[in-house]
Amino acid sequence: MTAGQNPGAGSLAGIRVIEIGTSVAAPMAAQILGDMGADVVKVERLGTGDDSRSWAPPHWDSTSVTYLSLNRSKRSLVLDFKQEAGRAVLQRLIEQSDVLIQNLRPGALAKSGFSVERVRELNPRLIYCELTGFGASGPEAGRPAYDPLVQAYSGMVSMTGEDGRPPARVPVSVLDIGTGMWAALSVYEALRRRDQTGQGSHVELSLLQTAVTWMAPTLMSVLAGNPAPKRLGSGLAGVVPYGAFPASDSWVFISAGNDQAWQRMCSALEAPALTTEEAFSTNASRVSHRQEVTAALSLITQRLTSAEILARLTVAAVPCSPVHTVDEVARDEQVLATGALRSLPREDIPGLTVVNPPMTFDGEYPAFDIPPPALGADSVAVLRDLGVTDDEIAHLIAMGVVEAKDAESLARSTSERSTP
């Protein structure tokens, strides 16, 4: 079994993945593969490591929560591959691995001597997965990017928020995380292709392409000659009522997706006057009179508590939901019942809880058991796996090519060998 492999894990047991990544997209992709059993070696720069290690607050026992959420099921190797000795180590790692995922600035890895062509010379079976902001070609191809920038570029931001107010991004890294998901799926496809051909692949993804994919229905609507969508807040273009409505104590999301649901909703809320308004009689007419419907319904909902609204609409089989805050989600009975949260303690973070990937197999979540590593926690172990001797490792550390949190165990081992 490969060192660092998750015992009893999924179908990627025995596959080694190199992650030369930072921030969100590449770490997310590699974490998914690690959860499925791959041995993921996270190659990090000296001193600081992944950028997300410094994205704090929020902290969990002095460690960045963002880093912790994206980097379980991995081992951390701190390596300066801009130095010749470091390049030799990375070359050896590439030669002995199955997948390389990277999201450095476009061209950065090639400048260090590891272009796509060179990497595939070193290991023709390697799957080289490259993540960028704007894609491999075109006038914006070389631009670095962050999730909200591409949200804005793709038109996503133009659809969020409400008319008359500033544009608003989706406050979750939907493009980074989505690109990481697509990357993991692409690696699976590339591995299946390698099973058939014996050859690796060069896989390319970008945040922009992910954004365009998420926007497919909207883009196709525009291509069909329809106008660009208006900003509707929590609303939906083709259905009214659909969105967040005020209660006396908070907000409730209501979706009356057809005329029958509208009638049941009005009855449950004891609002028969709404059903007699000719302008409100069909969904098409309600869409044409969106503001009037929203105002009239809001006057009714704001007189009731959220619990009263939810209870009435649930009995009436009208789709509805509380608008939870994130702290409410963390203790929600349904969320907990799904097993979405699980304990994955680390020595210095004994209470660490992580979010499971959103799938089970025969009722069980993937059996990952490796918490997010401290910076350089596995440098010595990874180098030993590659056949680097302890004396060579000690020399690499002394030269400043490798940084190792586990250097003390190396020193003890070297001392024990030298003691007569």
- Residues 268 and 316 sit within 8 Å (Cβ to Cβ): yes
Residue with tokens 């890294």: 173
Helix ranges restricted to H, 123-215: 147-153, 156-159, 174-197, 207-214
406 exposure class (CB count in 10 Å sphere: 0-12, 13-18, 19+): middle
- Residues 126 and 100 sit within 8 Å (Cβ to Cβ): yes
Q: Which two tokens stand for residue 364?
A: 């069980």
Coil vs helix vs strand at 305: coil
Q: Output phi, psi for 228, to 5 deg.
A: -60, 145
Rg of the chain over all Cα atoms, to the nearest angstrom? 26
Q: Which helix (H) or strand (E) holds 253?
A: strand 251-255
Between CA 217 and CA 228 the distance in angstroms is: 12
Q: Which residues are catalytic?
A: 176
